[in-house]
Chain A
């Protein structure tokens, strides 16, 4: 297809999914406590959100190149891309997680506390489930932008779907580029749909018209 073997395309897609997807999970794990802190500790909120947000201003290519300086890795190392994408995920998600926790109605939180929930237990059992819709919306944005951004790593020689772009460009061949773009978009949409589905499964109380 477009001068690209199916097996090669499949392998590149898996690599792409790995480089974009793992940082998403790690980013979420980091953002949950950060965002919770930002929503609960008044003076910490603005600097935390602004600080993580600033990371987002760094252009991806620059970050891929700079990380070896910080991490002591080789420029071709996957770790650079994984860490860079994690940073972007955290930059996007900290704010949404904070918004998600803020969106939990105060009266619900107070009712839970009044019934004897401890702070941590209440966050896990009450706040977190109610924050799922907002967090999931942010996660979908992060997933889609991660998938499209990872392709830039082809410029520093880390292989994934973006390699089809550089390969096609160097050979003056449109086919691989178009295939790569389409595969990347499909991957982004699949990841987006998966998160949307998961969020739906996690929030059965939001479904309308469910027969009793």
Chain B
């Protein structure tokens, strides 16, 4: 049987979908890790990015962190984290936590850079007008800078999410659950159908999440920032 047929067979087999280790359960697990990591990263990176953008302090860090992280191979970092932390952790967490930490670490820089760049991109005239009309510093941030930064904050979150989903996939090698299991386990048991089938599912999941975030972006970004050109 050729590879395509094997993959199709695995994908259409109901047994692949249901049960504790099935596609559905692993998709949920994958999404759970990913959103958890994104949330944690955003909780750190968005406030720091807003602060850097608003005050202009620590600019160097915000700009270069994203570039630096891009150069670091996530697989290597994952292994280092596991080797360092595994002996110090106990129970179920021992396998999940190192991977989750790496997911968050890799997601922080793109969100930070996006948030900072978004606040920085605020029209200086709008900022001046806001102060001139009597807005306090926090009001300028809340009413002018954050709404204006929304497009770039969202692109930062989307870039971070792609990074997270990809890294969560390879994190199956260190024992993390999720769709990566099919890819890693399939390879270990020389089951190409499972391996490729899992790859199809994870690719579709990544696409679906990105589309969902794009929809969120449309909701939270003012149409005034996307409609261009003087209409009549």
Query: Which residues of A come within 8 Å of B, CB atoms?
Result: 54, 56-63, 65-66, 68-69, 75, 141, 144-145, 147-149, 151-152, 154-156, 161-162, 165-166, 168-169, 172, 174, 177-178, 180-181, 184-185, 188-189, 192
Contacts A62-B183, A65-B196, A174-B80 given; does A162 touch B75 at CB 8 Å: yes
B225 contacts chain A at the CB level, 8 A cutoff: no
Query: Which residues of B come within 8 Å of A, CB atoms?
Result: 3-4, 7, 67, 70-77, 79-80, 82-84, 162, 165-166, 169-170, 173-174, 180, 183-184, 187, 192, 195-196, 198-200, 202-203, 206-207, 210
Residues on the A chain within 8 Å of B80, using CB: 174, 177-178, 181
A155 touches B170 (CB 8 A): yes
The 8 closest A-B pairs by CB, nearest first: A59-B166, A62-B199, A181-B76, A151-B73, A188-B71, A65-B199, A148-B73, A169-B79
A152 touches B71 (CB 8 A): no
Label chain B's interface by main secondary structure: helix
A75 touches B73 (CB 8 A): no
Chain B nearest CB, measured from A19 CB (Å): 13
B74 touches A148 (CB 8 A): yes
Chain B, Cβ-Cβ closest to A148:
B73
A151 touches B75 (CB 8 A): yes
Sample of 14 further A-B pairs with CB below 8 A, known A62-B203, A69-B3: A61-B169, A62-B202, A65-B198, A66-B199, A144-B70, A147-B73, A148-B70, A149-B73, A155-B184, A155-B187, A166-B173, A185-B71, A188-B71, A189-B71
Chain B nearest CB, measured from A176 CB (Å): 10
Contacts A57-B210, A65-B183, A69-B4 given; does A177 touch B199 at CB 8 Å: no
Chain B nearest CB, measured from A106 CB (Å): 15
Chain A nearest CB, measured from B67 CB (Å): 7
Contacts A141-B70, A145-B70 given; does A59 touch B203 at CB 8 Å: yes
Report which of B71, B162, B183, B203 forms a contact with A148, defined as CB distance below 8 A.
Answer: B71
Chain B, Cβ-Cβ closest to A192:
B71
Residues on the A chain within 8 Å of B77, using CB: 181
Bound-state CA distance A82–B83 (Å) is: 30
Chain B, Cβ-Cβ closest to A168:
B79
Chain A nearest CB, measured from B207 CB (Å): 5
Residues on the A chain within 8 Å of B187, using CB: 155-156
Residues on the B chain within 8 Å of A141, using CB: 67, 70
B3 touches A68 (CB 8 A): yes
B165 touches A165 (CB 8 A): no
A75, A145, A169 interface centre (most CB from chain B within 10 Å):
A169
Residues on the B chain within 8 Å of A59, using CB: 162, 165-166, 169-170, 202-203, 206
Residues on the B chain within 8 Å of A181, using CB: 72-73, 76-77, 80
Chain A nearest CB, measured from B50 CB (Å): 24
Chain B, Cβ-Cβ closest to A172:
B83
Chain B nearest CB, measured from A177 CB (Å): 5
B83 touches A169 (CB 8 A): yes
Report which of A62, A162, A169 forms a contact with B73, defined as CB distance below 8 A.
Answer: A162
Residues on the A chain within 8 Å of B84, using CB: 174
Residues on the A chain within 8 Å of B203, using CB: 57-59, 62-63, 66
Chain B nearest CB, measured from A73 CB (Å): 10
B166 touches A60 (CB 8 A): yes
Chain A nearest CB, measured from B206 CB (Å): 5
Chain A nearest CB, measured from B177 CB (Å): 15
Residues on the A chain within 8 Å of B83, using CB: 169, 172, 174, 177
Chain A nearest CB, measured from B149 CB (Å): 20
